[in-house]
Amino acid sequence: MFWSATLLLTVVHLCLAKPLAPRWDNLAEKHSWADIPRGWEYLSPAPADMVFDLRVGLKQGKIEDLIENLMETSDPNHERYGKHLSQAEVDTLIAPHPESVNAVESWLDYHGIGAQHTNWSNDWVIVRVTVAQAERMLGAKYNVYHHSASSERVVRTLSYSLPRDLHSRVDVVAPTTYFATVRSMRATSFLQPNLKLTEGVSQATDISNGRVPASCGTKITLECLHTLYNTKGYVPTSTATNKIGVAGYLDEFANYADLEIFFQKFRKDAVGSNFTTIQVNGGGNDQNKPGVEANLDIQYTTGITFPTPNIYYSTGGSPPFKPDSQTPTNTNEPYLDWLNFIFNQTTIPQVISTSYGDDEQTVPRDYAIRVCNMFARLGSMGTTVFFSSGDFGVGGGDCQANDGTKQVRFQPSFPASCPFVTTVGGTVKVNPETAVDFSGGGFSNYFLQPPYQAKAVIPYLANLKLKNAGLFNIAGRAYPDLAAQGAGFQVVVNKTVVSVGGTSASAPAVAGVFTLLNDFRIANGKPSLGFINPLIYSRASGFNDIVSGSNPGCGSEGFTAVEGWDPVTGLGTPDFLKLKEML
């Protein structure tokens, strides 16, 4: 009995002194889809010996502190307002705990993956693996899937798992269950060929007296926007510091020659100026293939902000999948690719405009949260991130949930639904402006309503009563935040003026106005605005309230624009002079 007791105590002592080693074969599901995501079809198993880069996003050590800091530095009533963090300070906050790093290294070592096959970058590690290795590591089955609308082929899995000991240490692994690719993303713009075209700047004489002519109700030019949003006459002076960036995808190339023609027609004082193209992740710059979306974005951001430097980020990552290829393939994670690139730059524009998105439900929750937190990181460093709200009202198609229930619900858009970006809806007409019927808007199913917008959103929900009950998440982050004109933009494409609509037009218009506000602040010795949502929700008087129109979708009338905030036009359209006065 004595020896048995002694042995027992020894075993207990050893267990307390040295925890049991993790079991890297004890897997638990991280994410899965009930069905193949809509728009995709199975083609074949992925070749076992195909090599690709697997990204592992480690839990960020102090992400809650970073978000708390962001809320303080973005609140105009807080003593720390405008005190943005440096890249080094942000890196310190998001650095994973050393135990998480050790655990992931041990897991990789267990699977025979040494340092020569890994590339660490603070909270991410990129691992060069074969499909067979990834399947063993993640308890997954990778297949080739085809997206008929874009002819895109990708390698993805319908589910993946991680060892139980890693669930608290790893946020996301990609590519796994996120099926969207560069080509399958939605660009929120479209041609409007039935609108008659505006030649030259014939509106200038009508606008010279400060009135907005009726013609701006169907055909938008720079003069219309300058007058509508009170930017006319402001000349930027902080051009050595202030910049604006446009994130482009889909092999959309902004064209230099078309911009020159655009300036000749609509802003003669800018003739001879240009923008800078930065190619990201193999993105192209084919000047023989001008893109409608790219030209729309860059012509209106440069036109509004001239002579402020404009940067167009041409983000690649959409080569066709070749089953016989033994070389690493691009894994098509558009937001991650662009964000990881931008965080490695020595300087980042003070404003970024993006006009692409996906249905929120098609983005795995863990992926969406991680990307959204990366936008918070940008805001913490003083960058304002704008996204268009989408062009399908409260949702396009049959609006069925993809969780197996097929329940019909409104379909929020991501990243528009992220609480750390500023989302822009659309308007149309003038004297007064009204909501355009395709303006995306609603409530997130992933992200809770942030405190900064509660005072604006709660009254709207109270007045809504039972309308649309059960079709949306009343506790979700509400969007859009702002709005601007979204139809009839006159854009030069391949030397010809065409008419373009969509919230893709609205987002760069608002981004241009806030770039001018940054210029004013910098010229007066103040920092850039950074994350603006707490500011704009506390200073709603700086916007033109839109009180009519709606955004139907999902077989419903959608939401209606009313006095105050609404999920069609947000707080309204910007008034530069009022905002400048407040700042």
Catalytically annotated residues: 293, 297, 504
- Using alpha carbons, select from 504, 455, 509, 453 the residue that is nearest to residue 481: 453
**In degrees rounded to 5, what are phi and psi of residue 463?**
-75, -20
564 is in an annotated binding site: yes
How far is CA 15 from each of CA 100, 164, 404, 511, rounded to the nearest angstrom? 21, 20, 44, 59
Are 515 and 304 in contact by the 8 Å Cβ rule? The answer is yes
546 annotated to bind ligand: yes
Tokens of 547: 């009180």
566 is in an annotated binding site: yes
Residue 427 CB neighbour total at 10 angstroms: 29
Distance, in Å, from the CA atom of 368 to the CA atom of 230, rounded to the nearest integer, reads: 36
Contacts of 542 (CB under 8 A, 6+ apart): 536, 574, 575, 578, 579, 582
Contact partners, residue 68, CB within 8 Å, separation at least 6: none
Give the integer Cα–Cα distance in Å for 398 and 460.
Answer: 26
Tell me what percent of the chain is helix, strand and coil, each rounded to the nearest 5: 30, 25, 45
Pairing between β-strand 124-130 and β-strand 118-121 as defined by DSSP bridges: antiparallel
How many CB atoms sit inside 10 A of residue 581's CB?
Answer: 9
User: For residue 546, which phi and psi values (nearest 5 degrees)?
Assistant: -105, 125
Token output for 448: 């809770």
CA atoms of 529 and 78, how far apart (whole Å): 14
Which of 421, 282, 278, 284 is CA-nearest to residue 347? 278
Element at 477 (helix H, strand E): strand 476-479
Please, what is the angle between helix 292-305 and helix 256-266, to 10°? 50
If phi over 0 gives left and psi between -120 and 50 gives alpha, with beta otherwise, what is residue 152? beta
- Residue indicated by tokens 């089953």: 323
Q: Residue 20 phi/psi, 5° resolution? A: -60, 140
- Round to whole Å and give the CA distance between 569 and 434: 9
75 annotated ligand-binding residue? no
DSSP label at 300? Answer: H
What backbone torsions phi and psi does residue 576 show, to the nearest 5 degrees? -55, -45
* Residue positions forming the annotated binding site: 545-546, 564, 566
Name the binding residues for Ca(2+): 545-546, 564, 566
